[in-house]
Structure formats: structure tokens, C-alpha cells
């Protein structure tokens, strides 16, 4: 059937109205976007990823979700700006220590993986919104981090973690290994990857980067360590004084053996400035006078 002028006009008006209601989204350089077709006459279906720094136009009713992109941090320190409080871990010798640090990461920019993350995880939290993003990160980065800290710390003794640089580095590396394993396991995919990854890296996604401060034992333990160090220093000082006294006694005995008792005493008096020695004329010897009262 050939449409009449009235039908054509209605369709044109409708098309114009739809065109006027079309929207656009601008994705900033530090963001990533997803667009879904969800118009009045279509089922909701994924359309495309919107790359960082791009603007895309979409029809009325379509849905766009914009997520943080690029490098992101997850701080656990108990500070006001931290995503999570400091963590308490238990060492191999059963001492509680406090751990703080930061995880640096980015969302996987691969479009298929990004879509999967959004549909499996992001939609549950409305993670394209700030509050939902923070909640998702606390669960999908924070909880695996807690587990990694607990499991890695149980492999080390507390004194090594607190005072041995090599042990601290080994512990940090171990926490990082477990973190990657647990984050991937919980999310079901490589959703969080190295903050320095680029598409030029190919399949080498890298891992989130972990920076840990040296774990700290309870204050009572730190005070006991300080006291122990002070005692040790006092012992070393006493031993040094004893060694010095022994050396001086040995030197004095050598003087006695060489000069006799009176000569040794005179030598020490001269050395300490207790007596003055004045040279006389040739062949007349020396004159020794006391310099004290």
C-alpha cells in the first residue's frame, strides 16, 4: 500500500522528533564507556565500547555506562581518603601486626573483557556511579587483598618482617602474587590489570601493583624492643669500659716491668701533666717539678 501524504507527514514528524531527542556521550581521557541499544522498538543489546577521549551519539532510550579508566588506586591505611582501613595480620609466630599500603591498577580496556566485567559485576553495584564503584572495588579488590595479606603473613616471623629488609621485600612480593590470583578468582576474569598496560603490550596484561609499608607490631612490643636495645647498648658500653680498663692495666704493667714502679709512676705523672720537666745545660740532666698545688 502506498502511504498517503498524511501518513508520510506523521512518519517524518516522528523521525524528526526521534532525531531531536538523540543524545551524545563524551568519554574523558580517564574514562571508559559502554553503549547498549535499548530503544522503544528494540531489546536491550550491547552495541559498542566508547574509547577514552571520544564522543559517541546514540538514540533515545539507549543506555550508556561510563567507568573510571586509566590508573586507579586502592589505599588501605585508615586515613580519611582511604578506601579501606589498615589491616591486622597474624605472623607465623602468632603475633598481630598492622599493615598499610596501596594497590594501583586499571580496568582491562579490552572491549570484550570490559563488557563482561560490566555485565557480571558492574551492574550489581551500579559501578558506573561513584558510590557503586567504591563499593565494587572494596569487594573485588579489598577482600582479595585481605586474604592475600593474611595468607602471605602467615609464612613469615614478625621480627623478620619488622627489621629485615630482604624479608619485607619477599613478603611484599608474596602478597602481590596471591592478590592477583585471588582478584582473578573472585571476579571470574582479568578485570583488574597492571596500571601501565597498553594495547601495545599484547597479551601481557600485567598485574596490579602493590606497595606495602613495613608491618608494625603492637605498641607494647615496640616499647619492649626499645628497652631491649637500650639494655644491649648499656651492656656494650660496660664491656667497652672493662676492655679499656684491662688494656690500661696491661700497659701499666709493661711500664712497671720496663721502668720499675717509681719510674712508671713518674712516667704517668709526666704524661698527665702533673709534673714539669725542664731541660738544663748539657751534662746537668733534667729538673722535675710538680705542677700541682
* Digit-coded pLDDT (tens) for 104-113: 999 999 999 9
Number of continuous H segments (helices) and E segments (strands) in the chain:
8, 13
- 140: Cβ contacts below 8 Å, ≥ 6 apart: 121, 183, 186, 187, 191, 192
Domain-terminating residue out of 38, 66, 94: 66
Task: Answer whether residue 4 is part of any domain.
Answer: no
Contacts 24+ apart (CB under 8 A), 250-254: none
Report the number of distinct structural domains present in the chain: 3
Crossing angle of helices 143-153 and 165-187, rounded to 10°: 140
State whether 153 and 184 are in the same domain.
Answer: yes
Query: What's the whole-model pTM score?
Result: 0.67
The residue with greater pLDDT, 136 or 250, is 136
Is the predicted pLDDT of residue 214 greater than 70, yes or no?
yes
- Structural domain range at position 236: 230-290
Give residue-wise pLDDT tens across range 40-89. 666 788 989 998 877 776 777 788 899 999 999 999 997 888 999 999 99
Q: Of the segments 55-64, 173-182, 190-199, 259-268, which one has the largest average pLDDT value?
A: 173-182
Residue 20: what pLDDT?
A: 46
State whether 78 and 189 are in the same domain.
Answer: yes
- 249: Cβ contacts below 8 Å, ≥ 6 apart: none
Residue 76: what pLDDT?
A: 94
Q: Rounded to whole angstroms, how far apart are CA atoms 53 and 68?
A: 12
State whether 79 and 200 are in the same domain.
Answer: yes
Q: Rounded to whole angstroms, how far apart are CA atoms 114 and 126?
A: 14
Amino acid at each position: 500500500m502506498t502511504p498517503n501524504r498524511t501518513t508520510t507527514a506523521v512518519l517524518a514528524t516522528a523521525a524528526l522528533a526521534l532525531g531531536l531527542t538523540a543524545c551524545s556521550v563524551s568519554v574523558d581521557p580517564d574514562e571508559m564507556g559502554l553503549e547498549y541499544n535499548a530503544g522503544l522498538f528494540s531489546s536491550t543489546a550491547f552495541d559498542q565500547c566508547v574509547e577514552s577521549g571520544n564522543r559517541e551519539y546514540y538514540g533515545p532510550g539507549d543506555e550508556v555506562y561510563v567507568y573510571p579508566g586509566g590508573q586507579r588506586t586502592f589505599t588501605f591505611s585508615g586515613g580519611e581518603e582511604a578506601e579501606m582501613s589498615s589491616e591486622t595480620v597474624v605472623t607465623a609466630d602468632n603475633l598481630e601486626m598492622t599493615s598499610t599500603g596501596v594497590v594501583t591498577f586499571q580496568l582491562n580496556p579490552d572491549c570484550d573483557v570490559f563488557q563482561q566485567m560490566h555485565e557480571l559485576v558492574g551492574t550489581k553495584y551500579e559501578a558506573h556511579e561513584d558510590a557503586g564503584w567504591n563499593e565494587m572495588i572494596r569487594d573485588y579488590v579489598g577482600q582479595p587483598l585481605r586474604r592475600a595479606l593474611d595468607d602471605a603473613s602467615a609464612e613469615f616471623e614478625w621480627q623478620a618482617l619488622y627489621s629485615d629488609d630482604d624479608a619485607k621485600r619477599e613478603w611484599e612480593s608474596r602478597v602481590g602474587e596471591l592478590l592477583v590470583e585471588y582478584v582473578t578468582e573472585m571476579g571470574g576474569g582479568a578485570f583488574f590489570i597492571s596500571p601501565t598496560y597498553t594495547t601495545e603490550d599484547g597479551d601481557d596484561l600485567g598485574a596490579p601493583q602493590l606497595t606495602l609499608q613495613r608491618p608494625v607490631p603492637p605498641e607494647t612490643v615496640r616499647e619492649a624492643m626499645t628497652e631491649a636495645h637500650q639494655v644491649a647498648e648499656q651492656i656494650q658500653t660496660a664491656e667497652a669500659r672493662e676492655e679499656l680498663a684491662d688494656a690500661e692495666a696491661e700497659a701499666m704493667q709493661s711500664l712497671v716491668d720496663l721502668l720499675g714502679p717509681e719510674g712508671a709512676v713518674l712516667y704517668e705523672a709526666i704524661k698527665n701533666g702533673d709534673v714539669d720537666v725542664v731541660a738544663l745545660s748539657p751534662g746537668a740532666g733534667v729538673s722535675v717539678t710538680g705542677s700541682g698545688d
